[in-house]
């Protein structure tokens, strides 16, 4: 296990359309594990392979729907449980008509956030880390995270989708991909 270097704009790898994954062998499994460790270390809620300078269609996401709730971990109250998603060759196959604005940050665009309009609900088809088909229906922040990460696979950065970008105040907490 290793923490990978996260590249930042203007690195050109972030602007390339990523290649489809076809080999799910030992090296790929190590890449998945390293990306999960890197995302957690950053810390972020998602990470796409192009962000670690690998132009492959791979995304890892870790998020809990009730992450906004204030949860204190003690003997009587368990910590919020986050769900880990590994999406290989993901594609959005359904999108709601309803769009919502939300503030996004990105590990590859340090110290800036922006307001981005995204679909409220989406359905994603992908393969899991072992090459088996999966289908996920997501809404709210999870849908936003998936859309943000899948954009990375297309060479799109959230700043391409907004005119409103700023440096957040120290007390603003923004989930980062």
Q: How many Å apart are CA 162 and CA 4, to the nearest integer?
A: 28
Q: Which residue matches tokens 């970008």?
A: 165
Q: What residues have CB less than 8 Å from 32, skipping those under 6 apart? A: 58, 60, 86, 129
Beta bridge partners of 99: 119
Placement of tokens 């998936």 in the chain:
146
Active site residue 67: no
Residue 156 exposed, middle or buried by CB count within 10 Å (0-12, 13-18, 19+): middle
Q: Which of 153, 151, 139, 146 has the alpha carbon at shortest distance from 52?
A: 153
In this structure, the chain runs to a length of 177
**Considering 120, 149, 172, 173, which one is annotated as catalytic?**
149
Residue 152 parent element (H or E): helix 140-153
Of 34, 82, 93, nearest to 58 by C-alpha is 34
Q: Which residues are catalytic?
A: 149
């Amino acid at each position: 296990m290793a923490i990978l270097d996260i590249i930042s704009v203007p690195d050109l790898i972030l602007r390339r359309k990523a290649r489809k994954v076809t080999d799910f062998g030992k090296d790929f499994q190590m890449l998945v594990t390293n990306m999960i460790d890197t995302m957690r270390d950053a810390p972020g809620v998602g990470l796409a392979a192009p962000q670690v300078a690998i132009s492959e269609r791979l995304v890892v996401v870790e998020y809990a729907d009730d992450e906004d709730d204030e949860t204190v971990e003690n003997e009587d109250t368990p910590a919020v449980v986050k769900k880990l998603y590994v999406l290989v060759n993901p594609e959005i196959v359904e999108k709601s008509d309803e769009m919502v604005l939300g503030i996004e940050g990105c590990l590859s665009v340090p110290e800036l956030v922006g307001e981005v309009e995204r679909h409220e609900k989406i359905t994603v088809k992908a393969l899991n880390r072992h090459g088996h088909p999966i289908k996920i229906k997501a809404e709210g922040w999870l849908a936003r995270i998936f859309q943000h990460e899948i954009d990375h696979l297309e060479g799109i950065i959230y700043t391409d989708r907004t005119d409103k970008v700023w440096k957040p105040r120290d007390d603003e907490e923004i989930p980062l991909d």
